Amino acid sequence: MTEPRTKYFEERYEAALGRMLVRFNQLESLLAEIIRVTTKEKLMKPHLFKINEFYIQKVERLDLMLCAFPRWPAPDFERLRRINAWRNELAHGHFHQDPNTGEWLTESVHKKGHKSVEITPQMIDSWTAQVEQALTDVEGLLPYAWLDEPDPDRPLPPGASPVPLM
């Protein structure tokens, strides 16, 4: 069901969009860090690290890179690819209200002739939950990138953290 045009709906949409994009940026930064450490320090191939890659290029690079490390856990790459599509719809789409129906729609700017779709704050929240799950999965690679084939039963040194301190 479509909500009527209200300031409340716009604010909910904006808040949901902001949460999703913040989590997406965290995920993209984490992918870059894992690729940076792995290519430069583990593989000794610093030329494989590209600082200005798009998110999807980072996902594909990580997928290929993990072939060199078969004992490392693999994140859900299909989810990571879906996240790219959702992020692009939100970041590049045009959010507007259909004057005939009152529906709030996001019009794709990437696909000619693509029909506008209704994207609700609830949909964005569900996408954000998927981004958060992907973030958790990718965080699981950090000990492998930072340490030499870590033993999960071995405790961390005193004062060490399994995730970067911000």
C-beta of residue 65 within 8 angstroms of C-beta of residue 39: yes
Residues facing residue 11 across a β-bridge: none
Share of the chain above pLDDT 90, in %: 39
Query: In the prediction, which pLDDT does 7 show?
Result: 74
1 has pLDDT over 60: no
Query: Quick one: pLDDT band at residue 51, thresholds 50, 70, 90?
Result: confident
* Long-range CB contacts for residues 47-56, cutoff 8 Å, separation at least 24: 55/24, 55/28, 55/31, 55/83, 55/84, 55/87, 56/81, 56/84
Query: In the prediction, which pLDDT does 147 show?
Result: 82
Q: Rounded distance, CA 41 to CA 35, Å?
A: 10
Q: Rounded distance, CA 21 to CA 79, Å?
A: 16
Query: Quick one: pLDDT band at residue 141, thresholds 50, 70, 90?
Result: very high
pLDDT by residue (tens digit) across 80-96?
Answer: 999 999 998 888 777 77
> Over 60-120, what HEC string results?
HHHHHHHHHCCCCCCCCHHHHHHHHHHHHHHHHCEEEECCCCCCEEEECCCCCCCCCECCC
- Range in 38-47, 60-69, 92-101 with the lowest mean pLDDT: 92-101
Hey, what amino acid is at 95?
F
* Long-range CB contacts for residues 71-75, cutoff 8 Å, separation at least 24: 71/144, 71/149, 72/141, 72/144, 73/137, 73/140, 73/141, 73/144, 75/134, 75/137, 75/138, 75/140, 75/141
5 has pLDDT over 90: no
Which comes out higher in pLDDT, residue 8 or 44? Answer: 44
Query: In the prediction, which pLDDT does 125 show?
Result: 96
SS3 state of residue 158:
coil
Say whether pTM exceeds 0.75.
yes
Length in residues, the chain: 166
